[in-house]
């Protein structure tokens, strides 16, 4: 099998680009803590309301952790608890969410907070809310007739 010189040049160039892309995201994920949301904790989906911390949805200040606040959401067709929160600008927040019924999405539009909520699993993402403004949380995975009516709001305030 014979390969043209230019094709070799192209493949070396192309594969190098791919390796660079992978290195950039790999280093960012595993050395800088930007892994995609992959929480491994499970929960009984029928007992969400009785299980900590989901028995108290909302924003909670915490002490002695790497983050300042925990923002806890419970999703079910077709709403999120809480429906509205205010987060202080610059706060480092661990967002924790789960679903009581079908699969839902949890996307804070215009941010990197974008994760699937699956029955039986807790989804988490930790980030610093460093831009003020009103943010819409949308359900971005189909969950039924009211899917496009399922939202919540976060206000990041000074």
Computed on alpha carbons and rounded to an integer, the radius of gyration of the chain in Å comes to 20
Rounded to whole angstroms, the Cα distance separating 91 from 17 reads: 36
Task: Choose among 42, 26, 146, 50: nearest CA to 98.
Answer: 42
Show the binding pattern over residues 65-104: x = contacts another protein (CB under 8 A), - = does not.
------------xx----------------------xxx-
Closest to another protein by CB, 55 or 130: 130
154 binds, among another protein, Cu ion, none (CB under 5 to 8 A by kind): none
Rounded to whole angstroms, the Cα distance separating 149 from 39 reads: 27
Among 51, 59, 111, 132, binds another protein (CB under 8 A): 111
- Taking a C-beta distance cutoff of 8 angstroms, is the pair 135, 153 a contact? yes
157 binds, among Cu ion, another protein, none (CB under 5 to 8 A by kind): none
Give 69-73's long-range contacts (Cβ < 8 A, gap of 24+): 69/93, 69/94, 70/94, 70/96, 71/95, 71/96, 72/96, 72/97, 73/97, 73/98, 73/106, 73/137, 73/152
Among 26, 55, 56, 157, binds another protein (CB under 8 A): 26
* Least gap, CB of 58 to another protein (angstroms): 19
147 binds Cu ion (CB under 5 A): yes
50 binds another protein (CB under 8 A): no
85 binds, among another protein, Cu ion, none (CB under 5 to 8 A by kind): none
**Spatial CB neighbours of 46, under 8 Å, sequence gap ≥ 6:** 100
Closest to Cu ion by CB, 139 or 156: 139
Q: Would you call 123 helix, strand, or coil by DSSP?
A: strand
153 binds Cu ion (CB under 5 A): no
Site for Cu ion in 124-143 (CB under 5 A): 139, 143
Binding-site ranges for Cu ion (CB under 5 A)? 139, 143, 147, 150
């Amino acid at each position: 099998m014979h390969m043209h010189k230019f094709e070799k040049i192209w493949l070396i160039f192309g594969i190098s680009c791919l390796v660079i892309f992978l290195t950039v995201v790999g280093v960012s994920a595993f050395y800088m803590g930007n892994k995609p949301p992959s929480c491994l904790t499970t929960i009984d989906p029928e007992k969400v309301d009785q299980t900590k911390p989901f028995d108290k949805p909302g924003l909670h200040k915490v002490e002695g952790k790497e983050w300042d606040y925990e923002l806890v959401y419970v999703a079910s067709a077709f709403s999120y608890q809480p429906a509205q929160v205010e987060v202080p600008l610059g706060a480092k927040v661990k967002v924790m969410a789960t679903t009581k019924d079908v699969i839902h999405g949890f996307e804070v539009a215009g941010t990197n907070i974008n994760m699937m909520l699956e029955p039986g699993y807790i989804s988490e993402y930790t980030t610093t809310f460093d831009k003020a403004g009103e943010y819409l949380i949308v359900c971005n995975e189909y969950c039924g007739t009211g899917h496009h009516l399922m939202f919540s709001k976060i206000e990041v305030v000074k």
